[in-house]
Structure 1
């Protein structure tokens, strides 16, 4: 674990982006297509911590980006090459473009300056999406990863970020997966090898320090 001074340096507001992954109503909301995952995100406090991080990022001048997974009602362009995609296509709640299911879920507040990046394919918020070029245009060096799920999208996001040259910070109590005990095991045995692991309180403490520089 880095010291608070080292973490604060990594989390410099002008070069950091906070990414929320699939924190949408059809995934972690009350009418989720994946109720077990939604329950894990809420009961663990992960969703609440994502909301806290987003609110403080807004105050601290840290850019916030929301990665949303969706599909067209006709399924055009969507993946069908894995069991996960085929199962998702049969769920009673569909993540259809323009529907309530693909809106960012409460209690997370989306500000006008936030960027919302939507993808119609794949497993990763970064691969084949606008996230990487947007991060580069923003001058991002550190990507703070939050959301769901620790099973699939979170590790994909972290690996892709590291492969693209970003420093990844995973907020351990702001991600969730199923079963609940899988998340700390994934963090300890996999994500900690490639990313900085921090708690939401540690990240918030860094962003509440006096700002050294404002984003241009």
Structure 2
């Protein structure tokens, strides 16, 4: 774990962006396509922690980007080269463009200043999407990665960001995967090798503006 000073230096509000990954109704909502993942994201507190981080970023003037996965009703352009994609086509809840399934899930708040990036293909919230270009145009140097899942999309985002030259911070209690024991193992054995691991409380303390002392 970094010291508070080291983490604060990494999370300069002028060069930090907070990324939420697939925190959408059809994935982590109560009626989502993957009930086990949705339950873990909520019961573990990960989704609540994502909301806390987003609120702190809004308060501190840190840019927020929401990365969502969706598909056209006709399936054009969708990936089909892995079991995961083919299984998704058979799920009772599909992430179709324009439906409630691809809206950011409560309690995560979206403001007018936030950027929402939607992808129609692939596993990564960054590779092959607008995210990298947006980050560069925002002068981003540090990317905070949150959301789901620790099995696929989150590590993809972390690796792509590191390969793209960004410094990455992962609040370990603001990501979720299945089974529950997989996430800490992924963090400890993989993400910790390439990213700075912190807690939501530690990151919130850096993102939110300092409180002014009350006058006596």
User: How far 1:208 sits from its partner (Å)?
Assistant: 2.9
Say if 2:49 is the partner of 1:49.
Answer: yes
Q: Which runs of 5+ in 2 are unaligned?
A: 212-216
Q: Which residue of 1 is the match for residue 67 of structure 2?
A: 67
Could you list the per-position Cα deviations for residues 112-136 of structure 1 after superposition, in whole angstroms to 9, with x for gaps in the alignment? 0000000000000000000000000
Measure how far apart 1:2 and its partner are: 1.2
TM-score by length of 2: 0.96
The 3-state SS of whatever aligns with 2:14 is helix
Shift of 1:210: 3.7
CA offsets 1:63-97 (integer angstroms, 9 cap, x no match): 00000000000100000000000000100000000
Instruction: For residues 168-206 of structure 1, give each alpha carbon's deviation from its aligned partner in whole angstroms, at most 9, with x where no partner exists.
Output: 101100000000000000000000000000000000111
What is the distance in 2 between the residues matched to 1:83 and 1:27?
A: 17
Q: How many residues align?
A: 211
SS at 2:17's partner residue?
A: strand
Aligned to 1:64, what secondary structure does the other structure show? strand
Q: Tell me the distance in 2 between the aligned counterparts of 1:23 and 1:151.
A: 14
Correspondence 1:1-216 to 2 at 5 A = 1-210=1-210
In structure 1, how many angstroms separate the alpha carbons of the residues matched to 2:206 and 2:186? 25
Query: In structure 2, what is the Cα distance between the partners aligned to 1:74 and 1:28?
Result: 24
Unmatched tracts of structure 1, length 5 or more: 212-216
Provide the alpha-carbon RMSD of the alignment.
Answer: 0.9
After TM superposition, the score normalised by the length of structure 1 is: 0.96
